[in-house]
Amino acid sequence: MPTVPADLLQLAFGKEAGTPPTLPATPVLLLARVTSENIALTPQVQNSAELDPSGQVRDSILTGASTTGDVNFEVSNNPWLEEMLAAVLRNDWGVGMYNAIAVTPDELVPAGLLNFYTVEKRWTMPGGPPAIHDYHRFRNCAVAQMAITIAPGAPINGSLTVSGGMMDEVLPDPNPIAGATYTSGGDEPVMTAPLVTELTIDAGTVSARCLSEFVINMNSNVRGIQCIGTLGEREKVLGRLEINMTGTVYFASDDLLVHLLEQDTFPVSVTITDSEGASYEFEFPRCKVTAAPVTAGGGTNSDVTVALAMTALFDEAKGASVIVRRSA
């Protein structure tokens, strides 16, 4: 039997609603623009401890299960990415900040909203035409973490971690969801490191520095609750939103090390764009350096670098630890 190629994967996220969260009757699913994924049901299985005269295992017991995995993608201006940004920051676009500070419809700030999604993988099976599709669906999935990585001479890459519930019991399902519509990810160009229009640390005092990598990591610390009488997780809860940034900086001055030793706070701003002018700006109004080792780790014919690490902190004046702004 022919194998199934990954190139024909369709990955979609449908937002759930209600208690318990479920897909609406006529759901809208957002198609993801992805480079790879490993979302799968992770079973918890243990061997029976029953003693047996044969000296062999008597049973294997399924005691729990959950859905976990990563989705990797190249960053572009598209509806799915904007929904995932809202999910990891626990809010919706255009919803106000703390301290009654208003935001525009094109701004996103953290809050305490836990969004759930049905994640659907559609495989195109061998044997067509007409095309034969097989669907795998995972319910009650939350976005636990997202990272955006910028490196010279490369597309800007992203990765998000899904923390989900059970896989649909009817496997495999050859039919699409009744009444569902799908929103395309579009064909906007991929954002690249050469088109980064702003990467400033401390309001520009070190913006002229040369960085060989910069990573934004947003972790919502979603965790599942397991209860007696339920296979897998019965519900999920939010932990503390933690936003960290790391970067490799070519060493030119001691500014970053001074920030660490004096425990200064300062703003950081990053704006990524595409070739048609669409952009996402990440403003971190109050940050601290958590590490800044200066080393010559590459040895001969290499450069001295700073392995920079920073944490974004809640800012009373802005009412948020991060503000994301989109521009089409």
Domain enclosing residue 263, as ranges: 6-44+63-327
Could you tell me the CA-to-CA distances from 55 to 50, 51, 58, 164 in Å, in that order? Answer: 10, 7, 9, 38
Q: Which amino acid, residue 184?
A: S
Mean pLDDT of the chain: 90
> What are the pLDDT digits (tens) for 150-202?
999 999 999 999 998 888 766 656 788 889 999 999 999 999 999 998 898 88
Model pLDDT for residues 116-128, shown as the tens digit of each residue: 999 999 998 887 7
Gap between the Cα atoms of 195 and 5, Å rounded: 33
Question: Which pLDDT score is estimated for 131?
Answer: 83
| pLDDT 10s digits, 259-311 | 999 999 999 999 999 999 999 999 999 999 999 999 998 888 889 999 999 99
Percent of the chain surpassing pLDDT 90: 68
Give a yes or no: residue 54 inside a domain: no
User: Residue 231: is its pLDDT beyond 80?
Assistant: no
Q: In 3D, which of 90, 102, 116, 70 has the Cα closest to residue 242?
A: 90
Beta strands in the chain (DSSP E): 10-15, 28-31, 36-37, 40-47, 60-74, 107-108, 117-125, 132-150, 157-164, 181-183, 198-201, 211-219, 223-226, 233-237, 242-250, 266-273, 279-291, 294-295, 305-312, 323-327
The answer to the question of residue 58 being in a domain is: no
Q: Is residue 287 part of a domain?
A: yes
Tokens 């001691």, residue located: 254
Strand partners, 161: 70, 145
- DSSP symbol at 301: T
- Asked whether residue 141 is assigned to any structural domain, the reply reads yes
In a domain, 51, yes or no: no
Rounded CA-CA distance 280/30 in Å is 19
Q: What is the pLDDT of residue 299?
A: 81
Q: Please name the helix (run of DSSP H) or strand (run of DSSP E) that holds residue 79, with its range, or none.
A: helix 79-88
What confidence score (pLDDT) does residue 173 get? 62
- Domain annotation covers residue 76: yes
- The residues pairing with 115 across neighbouring beta strands, listed in sequence order, are none
Q: Is residue 91 part of a domain?
A: yes
* Tally of structural domains, the chain: 1
C-alpha gyration radius of the chain: 23
Report pLDDT for 159.
Answer: 98
CA–CA distance, 178 with 4 (Å, rounded to integer): 25
CA 238 – CA 222 distance, rounded (Å): 5
Question: Cβ(231)–Cβ(65) under 8 Å?
Answer: yes
**What's the pLDDT at 132?**
84
pLDDT beyond 60 at 208: no
Distance CA 277, CA 291 (A): 34
**Stretch among 1-5, 15-19, 148-152, 258-262 having the lowest mean pLDDT:** 1-5
- The pLDDT, as a whole number, for residue 175 is 80
Percentage of the chain surpassing pLDDT 70? 95
Note whether residue 52 is domain-resident: no
Q: What is the mean pLDDT of residues 40-65?
A: 92
Q: Is the pLDDT of residue 27 over 90?
A: yes
